[in-house]
Amino acid sequence: MIKPPHLTVSPLPRTLNGIMEATAGKKILIVEDEQDIAQLVQHYLQKDGFRSVTAINGVEALKKVKAEQPDLIVLDLMLPEMDGLEVCKRVRSEPETAMLPIIMLTAKAEESDTIVGLELGADDYVTKPFSPKALVARVKALLRRIDRTPSTGAEHYRYGALTMNSTRHEVSLNQEEVPLTAKEFGLLEHLLRHRGRVLTREVLLNAVWGYDYYGTTRTVDVHIRRLKQKLPPLEDAIVSVKSLGYKLKDSD
């Protein structure tokens, strides 16, 4: 009897509801000065197919952002040498990393600290103590939303001097590109797609952050304010509707 040739089968990335997990193999930079927490997060990320690197302070984090080119950063707020807020600010100030997803990891649960982090460009936040599984779920959800190609609506939008290319993930004002974070981009795209309609904060949260987001509706207000700062024509174009939410004026 002839034996069949030996076959080596590589394990497939994890799946979600039978669909190949698109986030498998992505690289996560964990910036955390407490070694036990960093190792715990690293362990759970690697169990789900992620690659990971670590940094123990803000200065090292900035070096590894350039050297490792991660797909997402899990960033502790309280760090030696340079705190997480300053790291976030510097990452957002560089064009090549301006849209890099950031999840802020902090022991500070006060709303003011959360708002500062969001205003500087953090996409999400998790307060300590936290569930490692819940953190990994947040990482996966954020990466999936960023990787997802819009399936409905136009790929190009124009609103006065503002243009958006959804496929290339680019926004320009007067033909000058304006770097936006992933959440800012998603929020602007949703407003452009539904211009003239009143969108509640809950609708915007579900559309841009997803149903698994645990933050408050104040998050929407912070990102709307940042959009207006980066794109001045939106200052008057995005209208606040009392007790409801926002709408982008139908006429540009």
Note the pLDDT tens digit of each residue in 69-104. Answer: 999 999 999 999 999 999 998 998 887 888 889 999
Note the pLDDT tens digit of each residue in 137-170. Answer: 989 988 876 665 444 445 788 999 999 998 788 9
Beta-bridged to residue 200, according to DSSP, are: 245
| pLDDT for 14 | 43
| pLDDT for 152 | 46
Sequence-separated (6 or more) residues with CB below 8 Å from residue 41: 30, 32, 52, 74, 132, 135
List Cα–Cα distances, 93 to 5, 62, 87, 96, 223, in angstroms: 55, 12, 10, 9, 16
Alpha carbon distance 40, 45 (integer Å): 9
pTM > 0.85: yes or no? no
Percent of the chain with pLDDT over 70: 81
Q: What is the mean pLDDT of residues 194-212?
A: 81
| pLDDT for 150 | 45
Alpha carbon distance 94, 108 (integer Å): 26
| pLDDT for 93 | 84
Q: By C-alpha distance, which of 236, 230, 233, 41 is closest to 128?
A: 41
Q: Where does the pLDDT of residue 39 fall: very low under 50, low under 70, confident under 90, or very high at 90 and above? A: very high
